[in-house]
Structure 1
Amino acid sequence: MNWKKWSLLLTIAFAFSLFLAACGGGNNDAGSNNGNNESGNNNAENAEPSGDQTLNINIKTEPPSLHPGTSSDTTSSAVLDQVFEGLTRINLEGEPEEAMAESIDVSEDGLTYTFKIREDAEWSNGDPVTAEDFEYAWKWVLDPESADTDYAYQLYPIKGAEDAKENGGSLDDVGITVEDEKTLVVELTQPTDYFLELTAFHTYYPLNKDVASENDKWALDVGDDYVTNGPFKLVSWDHKDRIVIEKNEDYWDADTVQLETITMHMIDDESTALSMYENDELDWIGDPVDAIPLAAIQSMKDAGELHIEDRAGLYYYAVNHEDEVLGNANIRKALALSINRQGIVDNVTQTEEKPAMALVPPSMFEENEEGYFADNDIDEAKKYLEKGLEELGLDELPAIKLSYNTDEGHAAIAQAVQDMWNKNLDLNVELNNEEWNVYLDSLGEGNYQIGRMGWIADFNDAINFLEIFETVGGNNYTNWENDEFKALLKDSRAELDSDKRQEILKEAEELFMEELPIVPVYFYTNTYAAKDNVKGIEALPVGAFNLKWGYKAE
């Protein structure tokens, strides 16, 4: 082990020991001494592109899927968002704008969308992008025979979509109509204010029908059949090492794209990634798909290198409701109330996250700044523990396993929570970590008790957080379902009055927080560092990031 690595480990250990002393119990009023840092902003400003237009970033791990219809994680979407494009695209202001669609007509009742696809929209193999490519892609996801389509529910605003996927309805009855080669008509079940945000999401990306229908393994690797329509194209994929994408000269808006090559490294070790950044081998580290070593946070803050911005996302622990003990609501409440979230964000993460005592971020429900229970309420937690043990006929809690995907930050948070539950609830907690893809499989198979998860908003609406837990499966690893909760979400989709709809969604969250199928920890921030010559890239509050407008100015 070299001395630099050893020094870093000592620093982490020392910082962590201070943290445990600070927030193992009782209220902690320690606050961050640094506000959002705007120095070195990487916005486009007035600098002109110049010099080598090669960007190096870190995506940490192998993407689980580079198929738009099966992807359900931020690592995969960070790649897909560069090489594919939907009817709309989220711009640097966080708003949807025309992309593959050159015009969008919406009926007065908000139920029918007519998309005119650009005449010069082409696939990377030279084929024209057609309305039929969109129809094929969307109906492929909705086909009950298509596996691993966790995000199929994103298509459910479309008339007949849910019925086709869930209830044996015909795909022919889904409200997707190809009027002509370049005209797609979409009928919705009810007006959906955020529909044009959805059409920018990867589940709504088109697939080249001629290619995908002939080769069901087209997305497994680089090759002639990995055909895309975005500002960049996939040129190499060295599994578990790196992905390289290059500018797509046939892209309809190629003149806007300045970056020529983007190398996406898969470096799981955060200290290694930081060293590469310091040696100018990486141009960007941190969110939305990487992380900065905890030991480096404060020094980078002090040096004015960090950007810290609000992000619509939740860091939480999923609780497996098939577990006899954890299926008890009072036990879950005891676990949730005995965590000192403020201590975690002040002393472990150190990047100004907000303690989460709710499901939906405050950017969507303002009152969730306070949440549904007090942070670090040990006395109340012990009352819930006593109730839960009595209901279960137990004298004490059996040991539990707390799982997380391998990562320095996740490990430090898990160690802190382990210590809190041990001190506050006399609970023996075993920690377990697994590589990302293996970890997702474990959660999906129910092979866990409590497991770290996170959710970053796909679009700016509270239902995006609530509908995760509508049914078991997909992105809901808790095995929790509630008929009243599902009915409220159904009512919200039918409600045309925006204020009344928000009230229904809030009622659904209240029910969710009463049941508490998860343990919320904090609301995310975007924390990253970028070289001064990197311009035109934003880590957006919603979703990942968009490299179309990025460039370097020497």
Structure 2
Amino acid sequence: MKAFRFTLLSCLLGLSVSAAHAEKTLYLNNLEEPTSLNPSQGFNLVSWEPLNNLVEGLVRLDAQHVAAPAAAESWVVAEDGKTYTFKLRQNAKWSNGDPVKASDFVYGWTEMLKPETASPAAFLAYDIVGAQAFNEGKGTAADLGIKALDDYTLEVKLANPSVAFLNILTNPNFAPVNEKVATANPKWHTEAATFVGNGPFALKEWNHAKNLVFTKNANYWDAASVKIDKVEFAMVSDTNTSFQMYRTGELDATPSPVPAAMYDKLKDGKDFHNMPQAGSYFFRFHTKMAPFQNQNIRRAFALAINQADLANYVVKQGRQPAYGFVSPGFTGPNGKDFRAESGDLIKTNLEEAKALLAKGMEEEKYTTLPEVTLTYINNPNDKRIVETVQNMLKEALGVDIKLQSMENKVFFAKQRGLELQFSRSSFINDYADPYNSLKSFVTGNSMNRTAWSNAEYDKLLADAQVAADAQARWDALLKAEKILITEAPIVPLYFYNQTYLQKENVKGILRHPVGYIDLKHATKD
């Protein structure tokens, strides 16, 4: 009898110990296969989301969405604002146990900037001395302002002061690369068995186009803060399928957005979340193509579109109408939000729209408006929006416009080639600063795609780029946005947001208006 009691007690204790140490797995959806898990090459959300948890740069965004110490424990900025000296943590290690060295940052950033890498992220590093010239094949790696002073000290020299520099460095593209591993195996980043990172999690499995499996990185410098043992990322692009997986318990959270048809049913639930995302949906005019060479005609079209109706009745999902280009959520040195301070710069005004159209047609000596074609990507969301705008322009201005749909790749090739007269577009911020938004429309910028050029606007952006005075820089950006909206090479329509479902027993997943999902402090009861 005593033996039986001992065995039963042991079993009960064993179960208790097992339960206390039960593996905690978080089930998420990455939508699709990452483009690349090489920090220098993965430049989209499906690459950034896993990278932000597998690797860690000098800084990472904290709960206040501000750049905070990460692989670097501290830094000093020179008085002229052009030299940053970062002190790396001496207990920071790679997932294979190697120490994280300053030379790994030099190596990773140099690889990103090499012309042959053709990294889409390279432009983000152009503040660094010699970066743009090297990336364009006009300089050498020796000219770059990146230097390892010793194993744990990294010096970065900028061509000009950059108020946004630390924010830029939170992008996973600025993570280090283990030089020893990468030189021994250039394909180190393509399989789980060879992947080496320095983030809170390690890559355990990568079943291509199917799923990613992370485990807690025991060598991470702050491993004690990581509470989740394992993360499994599915790769399911259909939002309806993802929603069903959430309902059946296969996912702990859904990616953004929730299915549009389900928004009204879900929005009042305890597991529903709606938060800002820095970015906007807008239309572009080709300003060298009739009739949009005329500013008054462009503004007439812009003022005839009702952004509030589009956001509230067509797009829905809690999205906000856009009356300027820069998203809400950027706080200036004066403590004011950029969007609130800049105000409503383009808002529906049908009478003014009619008057401007008449004025523009008189200026161009048009008796009939040249044919207008609005081109969009062949998907249901775009189709609903352009059909609504088509009706708005007909009712407000008596203008009949044609609609043209294209497949994604064809559309972007034609838009980049300045072949589209009037077209849909979107922008998501790369880092948390209005400059990132407005830089897109500088003369000749690859993101401009309107043929618009304004010397005063270009100068304001150039001044903002090098300004040491944060308030003067902020004021220049405010003035630039007013020029952009007044001259109307674009029409802002609505701001993006993030709508998602998350189980109530899951806490601590950090999401940012600009930035990438951070699982370091996630918990699951």
Q: Flag whether TM exceeds 0.5 (same fold).
A: yes
Residues 148 and 167 of structure 1, relative CA distance in 2, 3 Å threshold: closer
Matched position secondary structure for 1:121 = coil
Q: Deviations over 1:221-280 (max 9, x none)?
A: 325443322122334444444333332222222222222332333333222222222112
In structure 2, the gaps of 5 or more residues are: 1-19, 331-337
Q: Say whether residues 1:68 and 2:39 are aligned partners.
A: yes
Alignment pair present for 1:97 and 2:63: no
Give yes or no for the alignment of 1:464 onto 2:445: no
Shift in alpha-carbon separation, 1:120–1:410, aligned structure 2, 3 A? farther
Alignment partner, residue 542 of structure 1: 514
Task: Say if 2:104 is the partner of 1:140.
Answer: no
Whole-Å Cα distance in 2 between the matches of residues 443 and 236 of structure 1?
Answer: 38
Which one has the largest radius of gyration?
2
Describe the superposition over 1:282-333 as per-residue Cα deviations: whole angstroms up to 9, x where unpaired.
Answer: 21124xxx31112211111233442223333322234455755555544433
- Give the secondary structure class of the aligned counterpart of 1:299: helix
Q: Match for residue 6 of structure 2?
A: none
**Does the 8 A contact of 1:164 with 1:171 survive in 2?**
yes
The aligned counterpart of 2:314 is: 348
* RCO comparison, higher one (Cα < 8 Å, 6+): 1
Instruction: Single out whichever of 81-90 and 458-467 deviates more from structure 2.
Output: 458-467
Distance 1:544 1:333 in 2: 35
Partner of 2:3: none
CA–CA distance in 2 between the matches of 1:249 and 1:394? 73
Q: Provide closer, same or farther for how the CA distance between residues 397 and 543 of structure 1 changes in structure 2, counting only shifts above 3 A.
A: farther
Q: Would the alpha carbon gap of residues 130 and 341 (structure 1) be closer, same or farther in structure 2, given more than 3 Å must change?
A: same
The answer as to whether partners of 1:404 and 1:451 remain within 8 angstroms in 2 is: no
What is the CA deviation profile of residues 15-65 of structure 1, one whole-angstrom value per residue up to 9, with x for unaligned ones? xxxxxxxxxxxxxxxxxxxxxxxxxxxxxxxxxx98552222233344344
Q: TM-score, normalised by structure 2?
A: 0.84
Q: Distance in 2 between matches of 1:419 and 1:393?
A: 22
SS in 2 for 1:315: strand
| C-alpha contact (below 8 Å) 1:317/1:450 kept by paired residues | yes
Matched with 1:372 is 345
Q: How far apart, in 2, do the equivalents of 1:210 and 1:535 lie?
A: 37
Name 1:334's counterpart in structure 2. Answer: 300
1:188, distance to aligned residue in structure 2 (A): 2.4
In the other structure, the counterpart of 2:49 is 78
Distance 1:521 1:119, change over 3 A: same
From 131, 143, 151, give the equivalent of 1:181: 151
Residue 213 of structure 2 corresponds to residue 244 of structure 1: yes
> 2:127 corresponds to which residue?
157
2:115/2:137 contact within 8 Å kept:
no
Change (3 A) 1:327 1:196: same
Could you say which residue in structure 2 is the equivalent of 1:500? 472
Distance across 1 between alignment mates of 2:40 and 2:452: 25
Aligned-partner Cα distance in 2 for 1:129–1:405: 46
1:131 aligns with 2:96: no
Structure 2 counterpart SS, 1:302: coil
Which of residues 8, 27, 30 is equivalent to 1:56? Answer: 27
How does the TM-score come out when normalised to structure 1?
0.80
The answer (yes or no) to whether the contact 2:29–2:236 under 8 Å persists in 1 is yes
Partner of 2:4: none
The residue that corresponds to 2:86 in the other structure is 115
**In 1, distance between residues paired with 2:476 and 2:192?**
48
CA contact (8 A) 1:319 1:451 kept: yes
The correspondence of residues 383-532 of structure 1 with structure 2, limited to 5 A, is 383-388=355-360, 391=364, 395-404=368-377, 406=379, 408-425=380-397, 426-432=399-405, 434=407, 443-444=415-416, 448-470=420-442, 472=444, 474-532=446-504
- 1:255–1:443 Cα change, 3 Å: farther
Q: What do residues 123-158 of structure 1 show as CA deviations (whole Å, max 9, x unaligned)?
A: 334433221121122223333443143x32322332
1:323 and 1:51 mapped to 2: Cα distance? 64
Identity percentage of aligned residues: 36
| 1:405/1:439 contact within 8 Å kept | no
Q: Which amino acid aligns with 1:158?
A: I
Kindly report the root-mean-square deviation, in angstroms, between the aligned alpha carbons of the 2 structures.
3.2
Aligned AA (2:125): L
Rounded to whole Å, the distance in 2 between the matches of 1:224 and 1:447 is 45
Shift of residue 368, structure 1, vs aligned partner: 5.5
> Are the structure 2 counterparts of residues 80 and 475 from structure 1 closer, same or farther at C-alpha, using a change threshold of 3 Å?
farther
Change in Cα spacing, 1:340 to 1:308, as seen in structure 2 (3 Å) is same
AA partner of residue 427 (structure 1): D
Relative distance call for 1:336 and 1:68 in structure 2 (3 A) is farther
Using the TM superposition, give the Cα deviation of residue 545 of structure 1 relative to its aligned residue in structure 2, in angstroms: 2.0
Report the residue type matching 1:101 in the other structure.
A
- Give, in angstroms, the shift of residue 346 of structure 1: 1.7
Q: Using a 3 Å threshold, how does the CA distance of structure 1 residues 276 and 252 change in structure 2: closer, same or farther? A: same
How far apart are the structure 2 equivalents of 1:161 and 1:533?
46
Q: Closer, same or farther in 2 for the Cα pair 1:244/1:478, shift >3 Å?
A: farther
Contact 1:294 1:348 in 2 (8 A): no
How many residue pairs get matched? 498
Unaligned runs of 5+ in 1: 1-48
Point out the more displaced range, 468-477 or 332-341. Answer: 468-477
Structure 1 letter corresponding to 2:224: D
Q: Is the 8 A contact 2:253 2:501 kept in 1?
A: yes
Match of 1:293 in 2: 259
Pick closer, same or farther for the CA change 1:382–1:158 going to 2, 3 Å: same
